[in-house]
A and B are shown apart, each in its own frame.
Chain A
Amino acid sequence: MGIDDKPRKPADTKTVSRSDFLSAGFAALGAVGATAAALSPLAEIEEGPSFDKFFQKHYKELSKEDMAGILERTRKEVKEKYGVDAKVSDPQPMEGVEFAYALNIGRCVGCRKCVYACMKENNQSRDPQAAYIRVMKMEKGSIDVESSDLRYEDETVPSKDHYYMPVQCHQCKNAPCVKACPVGATWQEKDGIVAIDYDWCIGCRYCMAACPYGARVFNFSEPTLPSEEVNPDMSYLGNRPRPKGVVEKCHFCMQRTRKGKYPACVEVCPTGSRKFGNILDPESDVSQILKNKRVYIFKEEVGTLPRFYYYFDV
């Protein structure tokens, strides 16, 4: 005899009354209906993630073949959604290169061309607008960003007694966003770029709360991007189109800079206030600036060690 040695009733001794049967039946029906209704939003998702995408490994664990498959899949997705033949690549950090950025705060006139050149280059959502660069209009003599104006609509810039301070991701060496991410979807690459894998991001936005520069943008709704404005030169960790529910930010235009080119914001700046280069090369623009000019580090006291420097002419 086992534990269950109580005498059992014969199975046929209990008879089911009609009302019990009916109520149980309705209850079951109700439960099925409720479950179906609760699951119905799932049916509205136009297309769930494919098997490959759902079981995709972390970026750092991907083999070359895995990556080739993912790039091909991304290319197909872009073709399907935008009708554009994109060139999707996964450029790697260059040997002996660490990027740094310098911005001449005394020369910037606040024209916001960098904001839109960036948006065009990096396939950001147009509506709602996701911008990586924000230009703060500051009162001369003040460094109080709390009282700055982000949405100035002056007829012409620069306006009298003001200066402008553009802010974007500082690609910090001691990046709080990287520490905050609970799933390791964002990390620092060898060349200093803080990258995000949009396929790994769970959209918790802890990184946004951690960033002292407000550099990260969340896609609260499905990003909109006109097909005719898609930049077909895409990188996996960079400017490939993002889905709803993930965080994105400036990545120093890695699809350009890892091939030796300047970022889009540097190319467009009409005042030449934006400087970019390899900090490990002592002759580069940025090295020379850090050596010779007066440099200001935004929120230096929070200890993030940015790779983004403001400087001015003295």
Chain B
Amino acid sequence: MKLSVGIFLAFFVTSLVIGKMGGKPPAKKKAEPIPKAWYDPAPVRPIRKALQFDDMACGECHSEPLEGNPKDKGEFHDGIELNHAAERRNNLCFNCHNRKNFDAFAGPSGEVIPYKEVAEMCSKCHGPIYRDWKSGAHGRRSGYWDKSQGPQESLQCIACHDPHSPVFKSMKPAGAPPNPYTERGRNGH
């Protein structure tokens, strides 16, 4: 009987001590906000409203149709490097720009294609991609998938591709997920 009393006493005291030790809940952690660049939905290239060079509308300088060597960029546009298509084959300014209307693009026979309909111009060469873009397999759509509830926007080709160098540019990736076996959280705590 005395032994059982002793065991119970020991258990009682130990339990009280343990109860006290684990009594306080851990302090609340403060989570870090996600860097804005990691979820910014802005397209990779700025969307402009009109054809521009150095923030000036092309038509401000080029009011007259341009003749001459179609490979000649002229001193003013020397900084533009053309790297379009394999072996830089698309190397003539007026393959895309309209030599008679500098605020627009050139159609297959020099027709005027307004700036906003740039995809029509790109489709001169990129037929299958244009078809995919039209049907929704290529390029980004945003807004509403259900057009009856709100507007749907399709990004134009040049919101992602630089027409002078159209290969999609590499970018810095957002942070890697933490390894749950070695660290907790992004900062290792």
Interface residues of A (CB under 8 A from B): 19-20, 22-23, 26-27, 29-31, 33-34, 36-38, 40-41, 44, 46, 94, 97, 102, 104, 107, 109-113, 115-117, 119-120, 125-129, 131, 134, 150-158, 224-226, 228-229, 257, 259-262, 264, 266-272, 275-278, 284-286, 288-289, 292-293, 311, 313
Given known pairs A26-B5, A104-B137, the reply for A261 and B34 (CB within 8 Å) is no
Q: Are B15's CB and A23's CB within 8 A?
A: no
CB distance from B71 to the nearest CB of A (A): 32
Q: Which of B49-57, B73-81, B139-147 makes up part of the contact surface?
A: B139-147
Interface residues of B in 6-33 (CB under 8 A from A): 7-9, 11-12, 15-16, 18-19, 22-23, 25, 28-33
Given A115-B177, A126-B34, A131-B177; A289-B137 close (CB under 8 Å): yes
CA of A153 to CA of B173, assembled, Å: 8
Contact A115 B186 (CB under 8 A): no
Of the listed stretches B62-70, B91-99, B106-114, B164-172, name the one at the interface; the rest are far from the partner chain.
Answer: B164-172
- The interface residues of chain A lying within 8 Å CB-to-CB of B140 are 266, 269-272
Contact of A229 among B33, B41, B175, B187 (CB under 8 A): B33
Q: Specify the chain A residue showing the minimal Cβ separation from B174.
A: A112
Q: Indicate whether A115 sits within 8 Å of B174 (C-beta atoms), given known contacts A33-B15, A109-B168, A129-B186.
A: yes
Interface residues on B, range: 35 or more
List chain B residues, Cβ under 8 A from A261: 143-145, 149-150
Q: Which of A34, A131, A225, A269 is in CB contact (< 8 Å) with B11?
A: A34
Is the CB–CB distance between B144 and A262 below 8 Å? yes
Q: Are B15 and A268 in contact, CB atoms less than 8 angstroms apart?
A: no
Find chain B residues with CB under 8 A from A120 CB: 34, 39
18 A-B residue contacts at CB 8 Å? Answer: A22-B5, A29-B8, A31-B8, A34-B11, A40-B22, A109-B168, A109-B170, A112-B175, A126-B34, A153-B173, A157-B172, A260-B150, A261-B150, A270-B43, A270-B160, A271-B140, A292-B132, A311-B137
Asked if B178 and A156 sit within 8 Å, CB to CB, the answer is no
**Is B170 a contact partner of A285 (Cβ separation < 8 A)?**
no
B150 nearest in chain A by CB position: A260
Looking at the complex, which one of B9, B128, B132, B184 makes contact with A128 (CB distance below 8 Å)?
A: B184
Q: Contact at B138–A156, with CB atoms within 8 Å?
A: no
Determine the chain B residues whose CB is within 8 A of the CB of A111 once the complex forms.
171-174
The docked-state distance in angstroms from the alpha carbon of A266 to that of B39 is 11
